[in-house]
């Protein structure tokens, strides 16, 4: 496997959706690669974990209220 091939299947690797054989080839490339693959994969993986581990953002109160108000209005219009 070369850098280009690794790159093409990186998301599947991170989601653990690769066939075991291909996954092993990818790991082997990561051990041997003299270019930026190892650091990129680590950094990429860590960033994604950071995003995923942060809870969904809280919707500001005024935004929540406005949304409910608009939906309520929309519902009333339908009834009329």
Binding residues for another protein, rule: CB under 8 A, are 2-4, 7-8, 10-12, 14-15, 17, 35-36, 38-40, 42-48, 50-52, 56-60, 63-64, 66-68, 70-72, 74-75, 78
Whether residue 19 contacts residue 53, with contact meaning beta carbons closer than 8 Å, is answered with: no
| Token duo for residue 39 | 């650091």
Task: Give 24 or 64: the residue with its C-beta nearer to another protein.
Answer: 64
**Minimum gap (Å) between residue 80 Cβ and another protein:** 13
Task: Give 14 or 22: the residue with its C-beta nearer to another protein.
Answer: 14
Vertex 65: Cα angle to 63 and 68 (nearest 5) = 110
**Minimum gap (Å) between residue 20 Cβ and another protein:** 19
Q: What ranges in the chain are assigned the alpha helix state H?
A: 3-8, 10-14, 20-32, 37-53, 61-79
């Amino acid at each position: 496997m070369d850098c280009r091939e690794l790159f093409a299947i990186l998301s599947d690797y991170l989601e653990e959706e690769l066939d075991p054989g291909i996954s092993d080839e990818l790991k082997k490339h990561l051990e041997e690669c003299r270019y930026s693959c190892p650091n990129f994969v680590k950094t990429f993986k860590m960033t994604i974990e950071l995003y995923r581990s942060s809870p969904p953002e809280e919707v500001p109160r005024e935004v929540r209220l406005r949304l409910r108000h608009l939906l309520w209005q929309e519902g009333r219009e339908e009834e009329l």
